[in-house]
Amino acid sequence: MVIGKTFKFESSHNIIGHPKCGQLHGHTYKLTVEVEGFINEKTDMVMDYHELSEIVNRLVVDKYDHTHLNTTMPCQPTCERLVFIIFNALKVEIPLLYAVILQEGEGGYARLTRQD
């Protein structure tokens, strides 16, 4: 079974060398974190949403919300790179992590799953 929870954060960035996105601009990011596992017989849950929220807020939202991504990331702050960094940070504390989907504004998104 797969469960998930969605979070939002606001950040600015610019993609160096890109003709349009090279200009400083910001996005509302919508982050969906999915966990896959079996229903625990004692809790009747795959994972407690409160526990999931605490981890995601601490490792992602608190780190990136209202920041300039160019100064908080070690690489070009593209949606693809950000989802890769987020997935790798979360998998350390969420062993059942299945997928991370990051939507940049109202348009594009990047998705990374455990199988990718």
Q: Annotated catalytic residue: which of 21, 36, 80, 93?
A: 21
Residue 82 tokens, joined: 């950000």
Annotation says 66 is catalytic: yes
| ∠ Cα 23 15 26 (to 5°) | 60
CB atoms under 10 Å from CB of 2, counted, come to 11
Q: Annotated catalytic residue: which of 41, 50, 66, 106?
A: 66
Annotation says 21 is catalytic: yes
Q: Annotated catalytic residue: which of 13, 27, 34, 104?
A: 104
Which H or E run contains 110? strand 109-113
List of residues 6+ apart from 53 with CB closer than 8 A: 5, 7
Annotation says 34 is catalytic: no
Q: Residues with catalytic annotation?
A: 21, 66, 104
